Structure 1
Amino acid sequence: MALARAIKQEAQAIGFDAVGIARVDTAPALPSMLAARLTGWLQRGFHATMAWMERTPEKRADPRLVLPGCRSIIVVGMNYFTGHRADERPGHGRIARYAWGKDYHEVLESRLKALETRITALAPNAATKSYVDTGPIMEKAWAQQAGLGWIGKHSNLVSAEHGSWLLLGEILTTLDLDADEPATDLCGSCTLCLQACPTQAIAEPYIVDANRCISYLTIELRGAAAVPDELRRRMGNHIFGCDDCLDVCPFNLRAEPTHEPAFQPSPATLAPDLDALAQLDDAAFRRTFQESPIKRAKLAGLQQNLSIAKNNQ
C-alpha cells in the first residue's frame, strides 16, 4: 500500500489530475471478456477502414501479452476542459476540444516517462511500459477498473469529478500494487448522448459504429474513400472530430477548467475560419498545426472536411 500511495503522489506532483491502479492478475476473466467484446465489434464491421484494429485482438485485451509478467496498470488522466465555448458563427468550423491546444500525446508522454523514472527510483527491479492512446491497450476498460470513471453509453470514459474531459495514459508494470475500487456505471436511464449524435453513430448503448462517427469521418477516413452524401449533410460544421455526445453528458456540469496551459485553445482552433483554412498550402498547414493533433488529418483530409462544412453552411 505504501508503494502504491507513493506512486500516486508522484503522479499528482508531475501534473496528472487523476490516477488509479488496476490489478491484472486479480481479474482473470476480464481479458477474455474484453477480447470477446472487441472481436464482436470487429465482426460487425464497426471499425470501418481501421484495419490495424483487427490485428491480435487477444493482445489488446490482455496486458500480460504486451508486458510479460504484468501485474498492475497505473492509469492516469489529465483534464483538458478549458471552459471556453467554440465560436460557431456562420463561416466558422468546429474542432473537438481535445485538439484545441497542443498534441496531448506529447504532453502526456513526457510526464509518463517522468513517472516511469520515479517508479524505477522507488522500485529498481520493476519493469514498466507506458502508452498514450497508441499501444495495444483497451485503456478505457482499465481506467474503469482503476476507478477513474466508467465507460458511458457513448463509449467514452466519464469521470464523476471531471466529466467527459479526461485524456488517458497508462503504465504497465510488473509491480504487485494495491488496486483501487473499480468505478460504477452511473449512466442509469440517461440516453442524451445517443440522442445528440448527428449521424446516429451510437448503434446501441456503449457501441459506436465508426462508419458513421464524425470523429472517424473527419480524421481517420483517408484517400479515395468518400463520405456518403447522407452523412455529409449531418456533419454540419465539424472539421476535426466531434464533441456532440460528450457535450450533453450531465456529469460535465461538475467539470472544472484545466490549469494546463498546453490545452488552451488558439484562435485557429477555437474559431476556425473556413475560408482562411481553405487557403492553406502544405507548408502553411504544417506550420499552423505542427504542435496540434490536427496534423493527423493531413492537408487533404482537412480540405475535404472544410468543403463539407462550407457546403453545409
Structure 2
Amino acid sequence: MVDAASSLGIDKLRIASAGIFLELRERLVRHRELGYESGFEEPDLDLRTDPARLMPGVRSIIAIAVAYPSKLKGAPVSEPGKRRGILSRSAWGEDYHQALRRRLAKLDEWIKERVPGATTMSMVDTGALSDRAVAERAGIGWSGKNCSTITPELGSWVYLGEMLTDLPLPADESIPEGCGDCTICIDACPTGALVGPGQLNAQLCISYVTQTKDTIDERMMEKIGNRLYGCDTCQIVCPVNRKIDVRHHGELIPDPEVAKPLLRPLLAMGNREFRETFGGTSAAWRGRKPIQRNALIALGNFKDKESVPDVARVLREDPRPALRSTAAWALGKIGGEEAERSLTAALAAEKDGEVAASIGKALERV
C-alpha cells in the first residue's frame, strides 16, 4: 500500500492502530475546561477520540499526508490605492477537502480491488476524529509546539486525512518529537494564542478569528493586519519548514490573484462573484462576510486613504451591522477629513446602537 501511495497522489501513508486516543481525550477535557475551544470542533469528545464509535469493527486507521506549496510565486505587489490581502497557505489552490477526498476515494478503490469485502470510512478535517492525532500515532510526523503535525521531509506544509478500516493492518511506529528546546513559534505568535508547547487558545488564534462572522475587538483587528483568512506565522517561522516548497500537485498551486487579492473590489463583491472567485478554495466555507470584514480591517491597518470612498459606502449602505461597525473602525484608523465627514454623516443616519457606538469611537480617534 505504501508503494502505491505516490501513484495515488499521496506523499506519505502510514498505519495507526484503532484504539481509543486516551491522552488526547484528557487534553481535550482540559482544553474545554480552560475555554480554549473554537466552537468549530465536534462537541462529543467520545466521537473525537474513539474510532469504534464512528465505525464499529474498525481495526486500523490509514493516515495520509499531501504536501502543499509554501511560496507564492509571481505574487502581485500591494501598493497605495491597490492594497492586497492574503489567504493562508491552506487556502491556496483547490479546496484541500476535495483534493484529499479524491485521493482517499482512489485509495479505497485500490484496497477493494485487492480485498473486495473490506469496509472503510474516510475523513478529512471535518470528520470527528483528530487528523493530527491520527497522523502522529501513525508516524506521519510529530506534534509540534505550534500544534501542527511536523513531518521530517515536508515540514508542516501538509494536508492530513485518514481512512478507518476493518482490515488488520500492521501499525507503524510514531516518530520522536523533533522540536527540542525551540520555542520560535510560541514567541512569534501575534496574539499569544500559543499559551504553551502544543497548547492553543483558539479564541485568541488569528486563524480562528478571521473565520468568525461577528465584530472583532480593536486589539485583535490590529493584530490581523491584512490577513483575509487564516494565519501562517507559527509555520513560517518554524526552522523545519525553511526552504520547503512542494509544488508537484498541480491543483494545489495557487492563483496569485486569488491568494493575494485586491482589497477594495472585495467590499462590493456579491455572492455570485464571491463563489466564482473563491468558491473552489477552502476559504469559501464561511461565505463572503468574514472575508469582506477582514478586507475592511486590512484597509484600516494599511491606513489606505484612497479606499475611503469604498469603506464609507459600506458604512453608509451595507445592511450587515458587523460590517458597518468594522467600516467605522477602518475609517477611524485611516483618518483625514474625508473619513471624518463620512463618519459624521453616518452617525446622523445610523439606527443600530452598537454601530453608532463604533462610529462614535472612530470619530474620537480621528
Alignment-mate amino acid for residue 64 of structure 1: A
Listed one character per residue, the Cα deviations across residues 76-106 of structure 1 (whole Å, up to 9, x for unaligned) are 1110025336556341112101211110111
- 1:209 matched to 2:201? The reply is yes
Which of 43, 62, 65 pairs up with 2:50? 62
- 1:161 matched to 2:153? The reply is yes
Separation in 2 of the partners of 1:273 and 1:153? 33
The Cα RMSD (Å) is 1.6
Larger mean CA deviation between 185-194 and 296-305 belongs to 296-305
Listed one character per residue, the Cα deviations across residues 198-217 of structure 1 (whole Å, up to 9, x for unaligned) are 11111111111111111111
- 1:281 matched to 2:267? The reply is no
Aligned to 2:65: 77
Aligned to 2:183: 191
Alignment-mate amino acid for residue 279 of structure 2: Q
Aligned to 1:37: 27
What is the CA-CA distance between 1:182 and the residue it aligns to?
Answer: 0.4
Aligned to 1:3: none
Aligned to 1:130: 122
Aligned to 2:363: none
Listed one character per residue, the Cα deviations across residues 100-126 of structure 1 (whole Å, up to 9, x for unaligned) are 111011111011011111111212222
Highest CA radius of gyration, 1 or 2? 2
Listed one character per residue, the Cα deviations across residues 159-217 of structure 1 (whole Å, up to 9, x for unaligned) are 11001101011110111111112021110111111111111111111111111111111
Structure 2 residues not aligned, in runs of 5+: 303-366
Aligned to 1:298: 287
Structure 1 residues not aligned, in runs of 5+: 1-6
- 1:17 matched to 2:11? The reply is yes
Cα distance change, pair 188–87 in 1 and its aligned pair in 2 (3 A): farther
SS state at 1:259 partner: coil
Alignment-mate amino acid for residue 19 of structure 1: L
Work out which structure has the larger RCO, using CA pairs closer than 8 Å and 6 or more positions apart in sequence.
1
TM-score (norm 1): 0.91
Q: Does structure 2 retain, via aligned residues, the 8 Å contact 1:218–1:297?
A: no
Alignment-mate amino acid for residue 280 of structure 2: E
- Identity level (%): 35
Cα distance change, pair 122–169 in 1 and its aligned pair in 2 (3 A): same
TM-score (norm 2): 0.78
Listed one character per residue, the Cα deviations across residues 217-246 of structure 1 (whole Å, up to 9, x for unaligned) are 111x12xx3211111111111111110110
Cα distance change, pair 37–93 in 1 and its aligned pair in 2 (3 A): same
Separation in 2 of the partners of 1:231 and 1:16? 37
SS state at 1:53 partner: coil
Aligned to 2:238: 249
